[in-house]
Structure 1
Amino acid sequence: MDTLAIVILNYNGQSFLAKFLPTVLANADGHPVYVADSASTDGSVAFLQANFPAVIVIQLPRNDGYAGGYNLALEHIRTHYGGATYYVLPNSDIEVTPGWLSPVLNLMKANPKIAACQPKIRSYSERTLFEHAGAAGGFVDWLGYVFCRGRVFATFETDHGQYDNDQRIFWATGACLFMRADVFHETGGFDAFFFAHMEEIDWCWRAQRLGYEVWACGQSVVYHVGGGTLHKSNPQKTYLNYRNSLFMLYKNWPADGWLWGKILLRLVLDGLSSVLFLKVGQWRDVLAIIRAHFAFYGRLPELRRQRTALQQQQKAEARLYAQSIVWQYFAENKKTFAEISGVKADSSAL
């Protein structure tokens, strides 16, 4: 069994593979590199076979998104290649740096309770800024809204070392996600119905409910292009983010929590966010938000089944941020992580 498997999921990303795969191979530290191809139509598989013979190519039968694709790929690695102790899942549009692996692996080996970890994620185009997808580690507020050290909504901090510490967090980004393989398989992997977006947050939440921890490693950094498969301006991305956030909240909220009150508040706040989209003429995003809520209500029977099963398996509570990040950001004008009430930039916990 390998210590680490580096696994890149690809769908029509030949240009990203050509640009970033050489850096991954050069900094793989002897660990195997896999590319799981989700039935690409851009010649990715032939390109890999011709130009990167060291890469192990896994050909998936269809595009099941990030969640379903990685479920298939990691199960394939476990059953056909002997598996690994840890997985790392860098997006195809991630530029890794020398020494990016060892700080994270050392942190995870030192603490067997860590199920997931991430490096610092900086912007590929603006090298000193944190990037949207995870920044320096993520949290979830009491209404299910997510934010990060280094990035709160549309405010991106410059990295000047304020998050170089190793920090326990709530969720680690799927842009470059390190995971303990046994925990991934113990949990049943990602929720494939999410398809893409927030599946890693849902998984981190579920892992914590089993007693595991999630961390960010401040001594490892990678650079992320972002939006390589689905650009942030695409209404489908809006739909998936709003829908999956509701899925995640309903499935995982504590049994004694005020769940339906929170869902009602989310309906109101999501409606207000639609007004912001309307003000800039993005009416397709408004329709996407409406679709997301109807999709949530339509899936309630299955979500209820999942919620019951998770409650029966639960061993620990996952610690959410107790205040509203929406209120703090928009009403109190607190734009950075350090400005959030009661939290310092180098705090060890929320």
Structure 2
Amino acid sequence: MSSQGVTALLVVHDGSPWLPEVVASLTTQSRGADRIVAIDTGSIDSSSKLLNGARIPTISMSRDTGFGAAIAEAVNQLPAPIEGVQEWLWILHDDCLLHPQALESLLAATIDRPNAMMLGPKLLGWHDKTHLLEVGISLATNGARWTGLEESEYDQGQRDGIHEVLAVSTAGALIRRDVFEELGGFDKNLELFRDDVDFGWRVRVAGHSVISVSSAIGYHAQASATERRNIDVKGALFHRPLLLDRQNAAYVLLANSTSWVLPWLVLQLFFGAVIRATGYLFAKLPGYASDEILAIANLIIHPAELISARKDRKKHRLISSRAVQEFIPSRFLQLRSAIARLASTARAKLIPERQVNTVPSSDLTFNEEEDLLTPSTSRSWKYVFTRPLIAAAALITLISFAWARHRLGSISGGALAQSPHHYNDLLKLYLGSWHEIGMGSGLSTPPWV
């Protein structure tokens, strides 16, 4: 069996708040990387000093360089592959630290699953290390990023194991170098966001496997997606992450799907964008509403990139794109997820969060003190009545019932017709043609019977 070599590629962009712990996690791996290369995309904070202090070889690039372009430049500067050595690329973010056994677990999975060419760890929250973020990812037909997890799902090992998935996040992804180079790396048009789903899709249709390995654990801060740092890549119009995310999601769907479903996808993406934009307008968020519309408009205005991408994917496609259908969530699952999000949003509005100073658990053996500064939150239904609107409505309802209590009257007594004591008497009364009422009557049975 050939030996395995690992090159860790760390992309850095204003990552000083997280970089010290990320570098520490790399140097404490039970199976360390054979080579670590950092790519600094024009950081203006102390990131470059931190990398120099850690003595990590660094490639400096311009500030508007995309994630895929940074990885491609680093791969181009690597030495030629050594014969007899199975080389792997370990893709890393500057805001994702890894458990000390992460790389060892990923490499062990490659032995059991030799067809797996892209592997990823289980991702948990950076501060709340019990918050399950991802165990593999996919893409819904409306462009939404799909993890298959409940909102704020608590990690109790319920998702553990090795799972076949459409793709894994680039935060901690392990990719075979020869497959990466054969497929042309990450799409140059996806400078940030959704490049992981796109590459996983291409790996799948090239006949390979993509798996998620839960024994490998990463803790991801998701700084770019949560707008905790600027989005400076060239394709980020107005530096808005939502616009870039929606545009890239539509691009991935239209570039990789089979031709006969394209008209339906275009309609679904367009009307989905209109519906979401309308919702943002009702929420008084016109910026997000414009992002939804501009994301689709950009693809319509520049169709050449999409056409070129479809031609490029056709060259490396060995099986039909329908092979990934099992990883695309059904409309029922999407609808159920949307309803759950609405219910969660309504509950969050009605029930305020209460801070409790507790220490979250951690699987790491270093830098646990930072989590002491992050309070966890809990909610109780009794706090619903602390909301002024709910409390006022409840008080008015109680006063109204108390004031009008006599208006309800009595529901029994002389005002109602006397009912028979037994069901046989009721049946005889119903069937009888003669009723003893005074001198008698030839009328039909009373309607109330």
Which category of TM-score, normalised to the shorter sequence, fits these structures? 0.7 to 0.9
How far does the alpha carbon of each residue in 1:58-117 deviate from its partner, in whole angstroms, 9 at most, with x for none? 223453121221121222224599997111112111121121111111112332321211
What's the counterpart of residue 344 of structure 1? none
Contact in 2 for aligned 1:93/1:228 (Cα 8 Å): no
More contact order relative to length (CA 8 Å, sep ≥ 6)? 1
| 1:327 paired residue among 324, 329, 335 | 335
Cα deviation per residue 1:155-201 (whole Å; 9 max; x = unaligned)? 12111111111000011012221111111111101111211000111
1:140-159 equivalences in 2 (<5 Å): 140-151=139-150, 155-159=151-155
Question: Which deviates more, 116-125 or 68-77?
Answer: 68-77
The 10-residue stretch of structure 1 (263-272 or 104-113) with the greater mean CA deviation from structure 2: 104-113
Q: Distance in 2 between matches of 1:303 and 1:313?
A: 16
Kept in 2: contact 1:11–1:40 (CA 8 A): yes
What is the one-letter code of the residue matched to 1:268? F
Any conservation in 2 of the 1:25–1:33 contact (CA below 8 Å)? no
Gaps of 5+ in 1: 337-350
Task: Please report how far the alpha carbon of residue 230 of structure 1 lies from its aligned counterpart in structure 2 after TM superposition.
Answer: 6.1
1:298 matched to 2:297? The reply is no
By how many angstroms is 1:332 displaced?
7.9
Query: What is the aligned partner in structure 1 of residue 72 from structure 2?
Result: 71
In 2 relative to 1, CA 2–322 (structure 1 residues): closer, same or farther, beyond 3 Å?
Answer: closer
1:111 aligns with 2:126: no
Pairing 1:209-288 to 2, within 5 Å after superposition: 209-228=205-224, 231=227, 236-255=240-259, 257-288=260-291
**TM-score, with length taken from structure 1:** 0.85
The within-5 A match list for 1:10-49 is: 10-27=12-29, 29-31=31-33, 32-49=35-52
Compared CA separation, residues 311 and 20, structure 1 to 2 (3 A): closer
Structure 2 gaps of 5+ residues are 231-238, 345-449
What one-letter code is carried by the residue in structure 2 that aligns with 1:85? Answer: E
How many pairs align?
327
Residues 137 and 29 of structure 1: is their aligned pair in 2 closer, same or farther, counting only changes over 3 Å?
A: same
Partner Cα separation in structure 2 for residue 226 and residue 146 of structure 1: 14
The letter for the 1-side match of 2:73 is L
Question: Aligned in 2, Cα 1:322/1:226: closer, same or farther, shift over 3 Å?
Answer: closer
C-alpha distance 165-2 of structure 1, shift in aligned 2 (>3 A): closer
The share of aligned pairs that are identical, in percent, is: 18
- 2:81 and 2:88 map into 1 onto residues whose CA distance is 16
